[in-house]
Amino acid sequence: MTAGAARPAPRRSDSPMTNRPTQHPQDLLSVRGRTSGDWLVRAGRGVRAAMRDAAAAERRMSEIRTSVDRRARGTGPSVGAVSEGTGPLVGEDGVARCPWGGGAAMTTYHDTEWGVPLHGEDAWFERLSLEGFQAGLSWRTILDKRPRFREVFHGFVVDDVAAMGDDDLEVLLGDPGIVRNRAKILATRTNARAVQALRETGEYDGLGALLASYAPAETPRPRVAEEVPTTSPESVALSKELRRRGFSFVGPTTTYALMEASGLVDTHLLGCHRRGVRDR
């Protein structure tokens, strides 16, 4: 090029890479970071959604297990097989039972106790107490521990339980043969004293008469386990009345379970050989 000649203008490349504005290395890192960050955010959202779904499924299964246990009063071997629409199951002996009545202990309980009317103040008090201890647990747990419960609570004789001192109850917190829950242990004595107070009012002929006064006019007729209620308007009303009278651990689910176990309602499934046992 000769001196004084005009310098030719640099040619503009058609390449997009050549014409792209120069970026600071940190800007490039930021762009890449945003790209990878967006991917991580999306992946994180997917993982969280999956975790929420899994947690929801687990909660639902827990609700089903608790509901079936509360309805059926136990977690015998057959409960694991309970699915939507489960009706009576025929055992090896050829007898149709509610689906929870499997295994020697639960079969015996199902066939000889559950749904049979109770008689006597102490029998009603025992059932009320054990239903309270069962809250959050399986009935099989309570059934296995029932002999020891009867020992430490003086056969659930109301006046003897009401007379237990604080030291007596404190000792029970160290007894592995029962459910060592302080609130439930204290509630047992509280409820015994509430039964005594009920006597003094003369309004009912004992605890059993009060509980029986809330029996519904008609009993459920469930065909499958999923149709068995866990509460009822009557159990809600009974719970409120018991609480008003100073009883503890007597929520609507507990009072409904009490009504089932004592024959105030009959929730043996249609087709179960024990259906109608309360009227026999």
Instruction: Give the three-class secondary structure for 82.
Output: coil
Residue type, 34: R
Q: Which of 100, 114, 124, 139 is catalytic?
A: 139
The reply, when asked if residue 119 is annotated as ligand binding, is: no
The closest alpha carbon to 148, from 167, 174, 122, 128, belongs to: 174
The reply, when asked if residue 110 is annotated as ligand binding, is: yes
| 139 a catalytic residue | yes
- In angstroms, the CA 271 to CA 269 distance is 6
CA 136 to chain centre: 6
The reply, when asked if residue 272 is annotated as ligand binding, is: yes
Instruction: Give the three-class secondary structure for 162.
Output: helix
Q: Which of 114, 121, 124, 131 is catalytic?
A: 131
Handedness of CA 157, 162, 164, 166 (dihedral sign): positive
Tokens 């009320």, located at residue: 128
- In angstroms, the CA 139 to CA 160 distance is 25
- In angstroms, the CA 142 to CA 277 distance is 23
- In angstroms, the CA 252 to CA 239 distance is 5
Residue 164's alpha-carbon distances to 37, 149, 179, 220, in angstroms, are 65, 14, 17, 39
Q: Which of 109, 114, 214, 256 is catalytic?
A: 109
The closest alpha carbon to 194, from 118, 135, 249, 137, belongs to: 249
| 204 a catalytic residue | no
H helices of 113-181, in order, are: 121-134, 139-152, 158-162, 166-172
Instruction: Point out the residues that are catalytic.
Output: 109, 131, 139
Annotated binding-site ranges for Zn(2+): 98, 110, 268, 272
Annotated binding-site ranges: 98, 110, 268, 272
